[in-house]
Amino acid sequence: MIQLQNVTVNYGNEWIALYQVSLCVNKGEFVFIVGPTGAGKSTLLKLLYREETATQGTVRVAGHDLNHMPSREVPLFRRRLGIVFQDFGLLPNKTVYENVAFALRVTGESSRTIRRKVPHVLEMVGLAHRPDAFPHQLSGGEQQRVAIARALVNDPPLLLADEPTGNLDPDTSLGIVQLLHHINVRGTTVIVATHDHTIVDRMQRRVVALERGRLVRDDQQGAYRPLLMLSEPMRS
Amino acid sequence: MRLSSLGFLLHEAWLNIRRNGLMSLATLGTVTVALTVLGASLWTIFRLSEYAQFQPRRFDRIDLFLLPDVSRERAETLRDQIAHLPGVARVRLIPREQAWADLQASEPLLTEALEENPLPDKLEVEVRDIAQIQAIAHNFRDQTAYPDVERVVDAGEAVRVMLGLARVVKVVGGSASAGLFIATLFLVYNTIRLTVFARRREIRTMQLVGATPGFIRLPLLLEGLFHGVVGALLASGILLLCAREVSRFVASLRSPLIGDVPSLLSPWHVPAVLVALGALIGLVGSYLAIRRFLRPI
């Protein structure tokens, strides 16, 4: 599903966001990308939905070579992804229903399909009862559920979530991650960038750790910190 | 693009206008004020230019007063002779009896004081090109060529000044119109840019869910068009109302310079021109503003 080979991303001559990162994610996997702020998590995700391009190395997602993808093909490529952001990225002047329907509208889906798919996906994220609410009338957790519904409505094979629990309290965060897990169980590959160690430790899924742009760890059933460190007492 | 998509985009533009009520109102207000100022200026400059072009035409006549002893036959021969001169459009003979009757009708008190008609026969000469009036009048003053002409009256210097004034109005007015148009375009562009700037995050979200640039751009262009056209219609209404009042006031002035100067511009040209300008400014303003925030990501 995803192949990164020796990927480096430079911002100008000074700042190296990612350095020589190689990573392979298979179809149906659930992967946490972890690391402190500035480690390169968001840059890695931006490479995958082609908001950034690699300065060196190759990035392949679902068979597409993103470094050589013409700009006009990018919208079509993104329609096959689901993307979830920390700030939810909802359209503020659209209702819950319209926000989710928008992702189908851009693909040119018929009104009949939209009427069939949107209630179904809202049901799935537990928001079937609030289709006419505007984003500002929802809690943070509900807004994130709308964002996930919008990301899912096109049945994407790959879902990318950048700090999806960054603005949420621990209980709501757990609910969101369980929802992502449920989506993964249905067959969607899920990549979550986070620095929320509680959810990472609880889920016990594959963990890829970044530090200052370098891939420093890739554990199949890992925790936020290396298992070796977890056994040590916390240093202040 | 499918018809259903076009319908959606139109609906989308309308929803954006409605749901961004305050911003839409601010844009509409700015566009209306800007187009009212532009329209009023263009209309004033155009009318001033028409007045300036028309004024010299009021003086396109040379009056030739004949000597009292010139016979009527001789006067008619002279009239026919002058009518064939180059640059002369028309010549009319005003017999002294008719001139006296006209004077009696217009100035009864003055004519009562006079015992007999002191007026000579008169030839009214209309020239083809107002710029040539002085040269033609100069020829009539040649006593050798026109021994029967006692006095030549033409507007002379006044015509020259008015022709100069008309040229100044044309040049200054044209430059001012162009300047105002550019200023209005920038004002509207900046206002629309603010509305687009306020929605730059929405634009980014749309790009990330796979919307094509055209899909994002079209509703925003339609919004710009709506603001331009509706602002122009409101500005036209304001202008037509003001113009009616100004016309009444000007008519009440009874100035010799402000007669009934015919205009090429009917009141219906104002909304037509303003709506065309509004649509153009709205579309160009939106296009430039969107281009700024719709860079490929």
Reading chain A (236 residues) residue by residue, the pLDDT tens digits are: 899 999 999 887 778 889 999 999 999 999 999 998 888 999 999 999 999 899 999 999 988 999 899 988 999 999 989 999 888 889 888 899 999 998 898 888 888 999 999 999 898 888 899 999 999 999 988 998 899 899 989 889 999 999 888 877 888 888 888 888 888 998 899 999 998 888 888 888 999 999 998 999 898 877 777 755 555 554 43
Tokens, residue B207: 């790009």
% of residues, chain B, pLDDT over 90: 15
Q: In A, which residues are within 8 Å of B205 by CB distance?
A: 89-91
Residue A116 or residue B168, greater confidence: A116
Looking at the fold, whether B113 and B225 belong to one and the same domain comes out as: no
A28 Cβ neighbours under 8 A, 6+ residues apart: A184, A187, A188, A189
Residue of B nearest to A92 (CA): B202
Task: Indicate the helix (H) or strand (E) that contains B138.
Answer: helix B133-140
Nearest to B296 among A71, A76, A91 (CB): A71
B1 pLDDT above the threshold of 70: no
For residue B57, the model assigns a pLDDT of 67
What is the extent of the structural domain holding B69? 59-155
Nearest to residue B121, comparing CAs of B68, B82, B73? B68
Domain end among B155, B189, B217: B155
Look at residue A224 in the predicted model and tell me its pLDDT: 73
pLDDT tens digits for A53-96?
A: 999 999 999 889 998 999 889 999 999 899 998 888 898 888 99
User: What residue ranges define each of the domains in chain A, with the CATH number in brackets?
Assistant: 1-29+37-77+192-236 (3.40.50.300)
- How does the average pLDDT of chain B come out, rounded? 83
Confidence of residue B258 (pLDDT cuts 50, 70, 90): low
Q: Is there a single domain that holds both residue B37 and residue B66?
A: no
Q: Are residues B199 and B74 in the same domain?
A: no
Closest by CA position to B212, among listed B121, B297, B88: B297
Residue B133 · residue B127 · CB < 8 Å: yes
Question: Under an 8 Å CB criterion, which residues of A touch B?
Answer: 49, 51, 71, 74-79, 81, 83, 89-94, 102-103, 105-108, 110-111, 150
Mean pLDDT in residue range B289-296: 78
Number of domains into which chain B is organized: 2
If asked whether residues B174 and B34 sit together in one domain, one would say: yes
Both tokens of residue B215?
Answer: 């899909």
The ipTM of this complex is 0.82
What's the pLDDT score for residue A209? 93
With H, G, I as helix, E, B as strand and everything else as coil, classify residue B219: helix
Radius of gyration of chain B from its Cα atoms, rounded to whole angstroms: 31
Average pLDDT over residues B266-290: 86
Residue type, A211: E
Same domain, B149 and B223: no
**Last residue of some domain: B127, B155, B183?**
B155
- Please tell me whether residues B50 and B189 are part of one structural domain: yes
Mutation for testing the B interface, residue in A53, A105, A152, A155 having most B CBs under 10 Å: A105
Residue of B nearest to A81 (CA): B209
CB pairs under 8 A between A and B: 56
Average pLDDT value for residue range B156-182: 80
Rounded Cα gap, residues A103 and A82, in angstroms: 10
B297 touching A, CB under 8 A?
A: yes
Residues B173 and B277 in one domain: yes
Where does a domain end: B129, B155, B181? B155
Q: Give the pLDDT band (50/70/90) at residue B43.
A: confident
Residues A90, B209: C-beta atoms closer than 8 Å: no
On whether both B74 and B169 belong to a single domain, the answer is no
Q: Is A94 left (phi over 0), alpha (psi -120 to 50) or beta?
A: beta
Q: Tell me, yes or no, whether B190 and B247 share the same domain.
A: yes
Which of A75, A93, A111 is the closest to B210 by Cβ? A75
CATH number of the domain encompassing residue B75: 3.30.70.3040
Q: How confident is the model at residue B167 (pLDDT cuts 50, 70, 90)?
A: confident
Residue A190 burial (C-beta neighbours within 10 Å; 0-12, 13-18, 19+): buried
Per residue in B108-165, pLDDT tens? Answer: 887 887 878 888 999 999 888 877 888 888 888 888 889 999 998 887 667 777 778 7
d(CA A152, CA A17): 29
| Nearest-angstrom CA–CA distance, A108 and A90 | 20
| CB atoms A150 and B5 under 8 Å | no
pLDDT per position as a tens digit, B191-200? 778 877 877 8
Q: What is the pLDDT of residue A235?
A: 45
Chain A hits for B202, CB-CB cut-off 8 Å, are 91-93
Contacts of A93 in chain B (CB under 8 A): 15-16, 19-20, 202
- Residue B4 binned pLDDT confidence (cut-offs 50, 70, 90): low
pLDDT digits (tens, 9 = 90+) for B199-255: 788 888 888 888 888 888 888 888 889 989 999 999 999 999 988 888 788 777 766
- Shared domain for B244 and B134, answered yes or no, is no
Give the best residue of B20, B208, B218 to mutate against chain A (max A CB count within 10 A).
Answer: B208
Residue B253 pLDDT = 72
**B144 and B176 fall within a common domain:** no
Whether B140 and B24 map to the same domain: the answer is no
Please report the pLDDT score of residue B288 as a whole number. Answer: 86
pLDDT band, residue B56 (cuts 50/70/90): low
